[in-house]
Amino acid sequence: MHYDAIIIGAGMSGLAAGIRLAMYDKKVVVLERHYVWGGLNSFYRFKGHQFDVGLHAMTNYAPRGAKGLPLSRLLKQLRIRHDELDLHPQGHSAVSFPGVKLKFSNEFELLRSEVARAFPKQVDGFDALTRAVREFNELDLDAPQQNARPVVRRFITDPVLEDMIFCPLMFYGSAREHDMDWDQFVVMFKSIFLEGFARPQQGVRHVLKLLIDRYRKAGGELRLRAGVARILQDNGRAKGVELDSGETLTADTVLSSAGLVETERLCGSAGWKPALRGKLSFTETISVLDKPARELGIEETIIFFSNRQRFAYEQPAQDVDTSSGVICMPGNFKLPEDPKDHLLRITNIANYDRWAAKARVENDPACEYARSKQRWYEQSCADVLAHIPDFRPHVKLVDMFTPRTIRHYTGHEAGAVYGSPKKLRTGATGIDGLYIIGTDQGFLGIIGAALSGISMANRWVLQQSPEPAA
Amino acid sequence: MTDEQIRQAIIGIISDIAPDEDTGNIDPAVRLREQLDLDSMDFLDIVMELRKRYGVHVPDTDYMQLATLDSCVNYLRDKMAGKALVS
């Protein structure tokens, strides 16, 4: 079978790219190894409950009618009306460090006033940083790379405030330890602080259903349980893929959302480049509570916390670093109705290699892997109690996923949620006809991932000619 | 196609691209970008939709001819002659 384009992976970027291509009558297939779509952002049922994976919140929130923002760009490119997304904004969230807490919401003024209150000497610098972020064009794919911390330090001289600004931005998108690329910092600062959080009533499955429906209606083909074993090349040009089943599909263009090192491996590249391997993976605990979190006195939608004065965003030496993390109360979005389950989710940075080495026996709660999960679940819950009231007596049911789970369901090496520290902004791999989309192209978050698929599909397939003059 | 139909064809395309925009009060003499939330990606879509719906090819050197509704009509009058409006 020959296609105009083959897309590897039915996550946000793959589906969005697929919609664009199908909409313009390209013959396109999206190949997904698993029996469910969504990639990093998916969903599952567990003991009769519906859980989301990945998505705490959609970042980049913009109300209907807001101009020139990533969300409105996405809606137009996929021909989706704002109300179809069913977005409900957060109440407020917080960054919580020892002895200091900064609230923020989808109204940027709240964060600014919190900085002025807690760090009065820093507020002019914070304003200047905000201006620098607003003025930077993160869509310029050819801008020179620079580190974010030196730039931020020009404006912010208090290291605690610096870490408090970095903490949410790193947790929600950084594939690098300790620092971020400046352009990624800008993307995340805008998407989290200047735009904000929202969520559909039904969570990520609602967004995925919209994308799948749109894709199928446009005539796109989706194949589940169709893992790609190899990318086929001919004279330095990608010409198709071989599936796990041995079946061969050919195409003019291959768009891969598998990740950078993963795509290299599919090409059979000899060189395993350790520097490109992402080191940041996570555990997430999901606790089902017997009443809404706000009835336990938890007001925030999301809390980014550190129990240490200086926040360390790095692969921990032990299984999990429970001294920092993200606490999400999905029921504290301003939803029209309380979700059926009252969830509290805690995300912590974790060490893939240590989890991968644990002996695991299916359905055996005494195996090393299951015991470690139990132990770290308890530690993770205990270490958030400096930030929220003790919710533990109200927990009815628990699930937890680990870096190993992430590796299994996303195919990302080392369970690296945000992929490789190296991003290919233009998508070009050095192999003609093969382009990277999604996380490792470098647009972040759900909206970012979808825009990545869109812009790469436009640039490398649809856009045969340059942009119209402004 | 009459001038009015060309205008309707363009407005129809814009309404599909930007379903949240109010296309009822577009000033035909003022740049579309100044009235609507349209960026370069959207203009590319207008060009692609013209090709898909009407078989009209707009070379990239002519993209600036699509700046206003009036300039669209002037530019497309010959190219759209004899074609039927797609709703």
Domain boundaries, chain A: 2-53+203-274+419-462, 87-200+277-410
Residue of B62 and A142 predicted with greater confidence = B62
The B residues from 7 to 36 touching A (CB cutoff 8 Å) are 16-20, 33
Would the pTM count as exceeding 0.90? yes
Mean pLDDT of A163-180: 96
CATH of A87-200+277-410, one of 2.40.10.120, 3.40.50.300, 3.90.660.50, 3.40.50.720: 3.90.660.50
Mean pLDDT of A388-394: 98
Sheet with strand A320-328: strands edge to edge: A100-104, A93-97, A302-306, A320-328, A342-350, A281-289, A395-401
Residue of A272 and A240 predicted with greater confidence = A240
B43·A468 Cβ contact <8 A = yes
Given a cut of 60, whether residue B50 has pLDDT beyond it is yes
CA distances from A49 to A52, A294, A418 (A): 10, 20, 27
DSSP secondary structure of chain B: --HHHHHHHHHHHHHHH-TTS--TT--TTS-HHHHS---HHHHHHHHHHHHHHH-----GGGGGGGSSHHHHHHHHTTTTTTPPPP-
User: CB pairs below 8 Å between A and B: how many?
Assistant: 57
Given a cut of 50, whether residue A469 has pLDDT beyond it is no
For chain A, what is the mean pLDDT? 93
**Among B16, B39, B63, whose Cβ lies nearest the Cβ of A73?**
B39
Q: How many residues does chain A have?
A: 470
Given a cut of 90, whether residue A53 has pLDDT beyond it is no
How high is the pLDDT of residue A466?
39
ipTM > 0.90, yes or no:
yes
Which residues does chain B have within 8 Å of residue A462's beta carbon, measured at their own beta carbons? 44, 48
Kindly report the CATH number assigned to the domain that includes residue B58. 1.10.1200.10
Q: Is residue B11 part of a domain?
A: yes
**Cβ atoms of residues A355 and A402 within 8 Å:** yes
Mean pLDDT of A240-260: 97
How high is the pLDDT of residue A409?
85
B66·A72 Cβ contact <8 A = no
CB burial readout A238-256, b (16+ within 10 A) else e: bbbbebeeeeebebbbbbb
**Cβ atoms of residues A60 and A85 within 8 Å:** no
Cβ neighbors of A463 (< 8 A, separation 6 or more) are: B44
- CA A170 to chain centroid, in Å, comes to 11
pLDDT-above-90 percentage for chain A: 80
Q: Is residue B23 part of a domain?
A: yes
Give the number of domains in chain B. 1
Could you tell me which CATH number the domain at A2-53+203-274+419-462 has? 3.50.50.60
Mean pLDDT of A85-96: 97
